[in-house]
């Protein structure tokens, strides 16, 4: 029988085993190196990732469970990404975090890993890394914060910032009142409490099978999170004994389950790029079209911001993820297993809905056919996505003249003085993975004040970037190829007619093919693209793939396993 990974470092009487053991002793029990599984706790706690600040406490409870089950827990701080802090956009660093975490999991003497994440990019990066190393792994999602209130009404993180700032621009809210709401926005530890990217990816980690059943969505301050962390510590030790790895758990069936859940939850469009990237690490066949094929006919059942009214604390109280999944149980792959070895559908038990205001029934959904729609046409040959649940129904079929911005700076410089009508289509380019670089969340462009003053609250917007999971509007995003990669988005001119037809899945530029073929990208647009000369950003721009395959680096897709052939001394 092959020795465990940790035993390959620690077992034996030679000089190297001596060195590995001696430096690690520092209070570990004397039998720590006698074959007990060594468990890394990949911990994204950081004072600069406010949504993850509490994860050190969670790690302590994971440790209790690991010790109790006979393992040796080891805290492994890893690259963390605070969505609200990191410039130019946290997405630029997702792949860097995933690469660094992957390499540290492989390089260290561990047999399994517990992944602690929360803020938007942290769970995707952890899952990408764990998939490429393919050691037994389980996620503890850090959980959402409690609901804050302002003037007696709940505040939704992100979503209400967008709403309130639009009100200020429209002149219906004073700047002083806007600033007064700031200290009420973040009520407790935890990540954003809307159905944004963090909530979506925490819940989808469970649907993928990668958490202790029933844990995802537990609010960060709830004592049941720590209880679940303790149990997760026990679970990872048993997973090593069973040899259960991410590649056993996250199969195509698990990803299709995640797509069904994404639609029923009204989850973030960012889940598209993250799930594609994780699947790419595992070699699971998954395409952007799977989101439309499998998810677009699924009804939206969860009435949470940004598509609805409530917040994550309400979802947990109303029955949580399991109650939602039981509503769509017949659409789930019954063979897809979880980290426990049991099928996901078996873990759901009889979980029921306690509040139909928050979790609707299939017969009375918040919206029919709510999943991600994937659009194609001469403006997006490799596809673009839209979330109909967050869009205005009257704009889903639309024809209008384009106003084009060559960069986000161009948009900010001109948006307040634009000559536009409600039919205008705002086009923003230079915001894809290569162009910005890093594919920022800027696609939900602010509306021109002239239209806000008329009461207009939504317009068709098209961009090669992403949109915050907490945002809303008729926004076509992830246009591929992006303008900086030579996509036709770079050929649009102000005044061109754009045709959006979501029911027909079309996104067209109404310009004759010969004329389009003769056009050159504008020099202003080309000049606006960043061309980093060194470091991570250079590597990123040279090797990042397009949104329709998950925006991973081309050499990071796939797996290298966990084996390391050479010693360190
Ligand atoms: Fe961290 Fe929203 S800013 S989850």
Structure tokens at 282: 């595992």
Task: State which fold the 9-147+187-247 domain adopts.
Answer: Rossmann fold (3.40.50)
CA 124 to chain centre: 6
Q: Which of 454, 455, 471 is nearest to 463 (CA)?
A: 471
Q: Is the dihedral of CA 110, 113, 115, 121 positive or negative?
A: positive
DSSP-derived secondary structure letter, 164: H
Structure tokens at 394: 């009257």
Distance 194 CA to ligand 1 centre (A): 10
Distance 252 CA to ligand 1 centre (A): 28
C-beta of 54 in contact with ligand 1 (< 6 A): no
- φ/ψ of residue 41, rounded to 5: -110, 95
Q: Which of 486, 516, 523 is nearest to 407 (CA)?
A: 523
Judging by DSSP bridges, how do beta strands 373-377 and 397-405 pair with one another?
A: unpaired
The span from the CA of 343 to the CA of 19, in Å, is: 43
* C-beta atoms surrounding 474 within 10 Å: 24
Cα-based angle 339, 345, 58 (whole degrees, multiple of 5)? 40
pLDDT score for 160: 87
Residue reference for tokens 């602010």: 446
* Residue nearest to ligand 1 atom 2, measured at CA: 192
What's the CATH architecture for 373-530?
A: 3-Layer(bba) Sandwich (3.50)
C-beta of 84 in contact with ligand 1 (< 6 A): yes
* Residue nearest to ligand 1 atom 1, measured at CA: 119
Q: How would you write the pLDDT of the chain (569 residues) with one tens digit per residue?
A: 678 999 999 999 999 999 999 999 999 998 999 999 999 999 999 999 999 999 999 999 999 999 999 999 999 999 999 999 999 999 999 999 999 999 999 999 999 999 999 999 999 999 999 999 999 999 999 999 999 999 899 999 888 888 888 888 888 899 999 999 999 999 999 999 999 999 999 999 999 999 999 999 999 999 999 999 999 999 999 999 999 999 999 999 999 999 999 999 999 999 999 999 999 999 999 999 999 999 999 999 999 998 889 999 999 999 999 999 999 999 999 999 999 999 999 999 999 999 999 999 999 999 988 899 999 999 999 999 998 878 999 999 999 999 999 999 999 999 999 989 999 999 999 999 999 999 999 999 999 989 988 999 899 999 999 998 777 899 999 999 999 999 999 999 999 999 999 999 999 999 999 999 999 998 888 888 888 999 999 999 999 999 999 999 999 999 999 999 888 88
pTM of the model: 0.97
C-beta of 439 in contact with ligand 1 (< 6 A): no
Domain boundaries of the chain, sorted by first residue: 9-147+187-247, 373-530
Q: Which residues contact 444 (CB under 8 A, 6 or more apart)?
A: 162, 461, 467, 468, 471, 472, 473, 475
* Packing angle of the helix pair 122-133, 270-282 (nearest 10 deg): 10
pLDDT score for 249: 98
């Amino acid at each position: 029988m092959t020795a465990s990974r940790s035993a390959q470092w620690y077992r034996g009487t030679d000089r190297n085993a001596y060195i590995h053991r001696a430096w690690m002793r520092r209070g570990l029990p004397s039998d720590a190196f006698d074959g007990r599984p060594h468990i890394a706790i990949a911990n994204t706690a950081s004072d600069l990732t406010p949504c993850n600040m509490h994860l050190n406490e969670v790690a302590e409870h994971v440790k209790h469970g690991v010790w109790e089950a006979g393992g040796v827990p080891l805290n492994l701080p890893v690259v963390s990404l605070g969505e609200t802090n990191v410039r130019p956009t946290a997405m630029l660093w997702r792949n860097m975090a995933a690469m660094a975490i992957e390499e540290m999991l492989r390089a260290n003497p561990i047999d399994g890993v517990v992944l602690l994440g929360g803020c938007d990019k942290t769970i995707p990066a952890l899952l990408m890394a764990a998939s490429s190393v393919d050691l037994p792994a389980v996620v503890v999602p850090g959980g959402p914060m409690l609901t804050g209130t302002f003037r007696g009404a709940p505040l939704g993180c992100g979503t209400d910032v967008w709403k309130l700032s639009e009100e200020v621009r429209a002149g219906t809210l004073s700047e002083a009142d806007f600033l007064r709401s700031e200290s009420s926005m973040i009520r407790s530890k935890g990540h954003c409490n809307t159905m944004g990217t963090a909530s979506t990816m925490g819940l989808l980690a469970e649907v993928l099978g990668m958490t202790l059943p029933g844990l995802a969505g537990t609010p960060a301050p709830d004592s049941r999170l720590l209880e679940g962390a303790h149990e997760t510590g026990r679970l990872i030790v048993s997973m090593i004994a069973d040899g259960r790895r991410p590649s056993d758990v996250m199969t195509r069936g698990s990803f299709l389950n995640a797509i069904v859940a994404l639609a029923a939850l009204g989850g973030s469009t960012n889940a598209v790029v993250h799930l594609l990237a994780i699947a790419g690490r595992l070699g699971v066949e998954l395409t952007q079209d799977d989101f439309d094929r499998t998810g677009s006919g699924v009804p939206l059942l969860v009435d949470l911001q940004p598509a609805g009214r409530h917040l994550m604390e309400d979802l947990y109280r109303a029955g949580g993820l399991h109650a939602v999944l039981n509503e769509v149980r017949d659409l789930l792959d019954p063979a897809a297993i979880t980290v426990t070895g049991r099928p996901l559908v078996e873990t759901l038990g009889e979980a029921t809905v306690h509040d139909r205001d928050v979790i609707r029934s299939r017969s009375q959904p918040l919206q029919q056919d709510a999943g991600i729609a994937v659009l194609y046409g001469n403006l997006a040959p490799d596809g673009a996505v839209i979330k109909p649940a967050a869009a205005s129904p009257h704009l889903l079929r639309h024809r209008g003249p384009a106003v084009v911005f060559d960069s986000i700076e161009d948009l900010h410089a001109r948006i307040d003085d634009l000559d536009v009508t409600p039919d205008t289509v705002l086009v923003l380019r230079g915001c894809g993975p290569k162009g910005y670089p890093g594919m920022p969340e800027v696609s939900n462009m602010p509306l021109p004040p002239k239209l806000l003053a008329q009461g207009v609250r939504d317009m068709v917007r098209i961009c090669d970037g992403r949109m915050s999971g907490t945002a809303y509007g008729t926004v076509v995003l992830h246009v591929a190829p992006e303008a900086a990669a030579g996509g036709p988005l770079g050929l649009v001119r102000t005044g061109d007619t754009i045709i959006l037809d979501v029911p027909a899945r079309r996104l067209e530029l109404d310009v004759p093919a010969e004329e389009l073929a003769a056009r050159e990208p504008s020099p202003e647009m080309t000049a606006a693209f960043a061309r980093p000369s060194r470091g991570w950003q250079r590597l990123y721009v040279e090797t990042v793939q397009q949104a329709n395959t998950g925006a991973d680096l081309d050499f990071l897709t796939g797996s290298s396993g966990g084996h390391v052939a050479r010693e360190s001394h």
